[in-house]
């Protein structure tokens, strides 16, 4: 157990049978009250981000998540199949659980899978991934005022806005946090 005042961004804790990761913390102490801890947290089971408040004396169960590097193989029957390169164990995670992450997964990509005891909580994507542009409309000459952008579809089926100079077949870098264009890969 750890006091809520000791929580820091990046910490993982269990509270009321849910597992959270801390995104941001602010401590507020006034003269006549106990310290109030306001933490912006992400529920690792549901993916929702909320703000929680704790009084200074509240204890939470600090936990450690296990991370295993695995390779994404393929999708079958609504499940994504991953393989451990050392033990060759295969693991299936439902597509619904990885609804956002599937936009950035390509075959033979190595990623980290987060575990708490035996429960699979999700995957940890790298900050940026390089993906190939499978479809994009041609640029219109002279349409270059104020960062002109156009629609592009990546090899995973994800659609985003890219600069006019990007053409079909190019490999570009994408930020996995918000799915935005980062640059040429």
> Where exactly does CATH 2.30.30.30 map onto the chain?
2-63
Overall residue count recorded for the chain in this entry: 185
The mean pLDDT value for 55-81 works out to: 90
- What are the φ/ψ torsions at residue 4 (nearest 5 degrees)? -60, -25
What is each CA distance from 74 to 14, 84, 109, 135, in whole angstroms?
32, 14, 10, 22
> Where exactly does CATH 2.40.50.140 map onto the chain?
66-124, 128-184
Taking the C-alpha atoms of residue 100 and residue 60, their distance in angstroms, rounded to an integer, is 29
The per-residue pLDDT for range 22-53, each reduced to its tens digit, is 999 999 888 788 889 999 999 988 888 899 99
Q: Class assignment of domain 2-63?
A: mainly beta
Fold of 128-184: OB fold (Dihydrolipoamide Acetyltransferase, E2P) (2.40.50)
The mean pLDDT value for 49-67 works out to: 90
Residue 36 CB contacts under 8 Å (≥ 6 apart), including other chains = 27, 28, 29, 53, 54, 55, 56
DSSP single-letter state for residue 140: P
Fold of 66-124: OB fold (Dihydrolipoamide Acetyltransferase, E2P) (2.40.50)
The per-residue pLDDT for range 64-75, each reduced to its tens digit, is 989 899 999 999
* pTM of the predicted model over 0.75: no
The yes-or-no verdict on residue 140 having pLDDT over 80 is no
- What are the φ/ψ torsions at residue 83 (nearest 5 degrees)? -135, 135
């Amino acid at each position: 157990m750890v006091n809520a005042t000791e929580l820091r961004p990046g910490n993982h804790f269990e509270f009321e049978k849910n597992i959270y990761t801390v995104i941001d913390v602010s401590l507020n102490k006034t003269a006549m009250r106990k310290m109030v801890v306001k933490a912006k947290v992400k529920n690792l089971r549901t993916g929702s981000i909320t703000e929680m408040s704790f009084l200074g004396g509240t204890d939470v169960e600090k936990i450690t998540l296990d991370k295993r590097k695995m390779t994404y193989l393929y999708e079958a029957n609504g499940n994504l199949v991953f393989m451990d390169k050392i033990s060759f164990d295969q693991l299936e995670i439902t597509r619904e659980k990885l609804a956002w992450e599937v936009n950035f997964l390509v075959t033979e990509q190595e990623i980290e899978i987060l575990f708490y005891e035996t429960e699979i909580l999700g995957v940890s994507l790298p900050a940026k991934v390089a993906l190939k542009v499978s479809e994009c409309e041609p640029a219109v000459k002279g349409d270059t005022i104020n960062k002109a952008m156009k629609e592009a579809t990546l090899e995973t089926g994800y659609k985003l806005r890219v600069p006019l100079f990007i053409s079909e077949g190019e490999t570009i870098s994408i930020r996995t946090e918000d799915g935005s264009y980062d640059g040429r890969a």
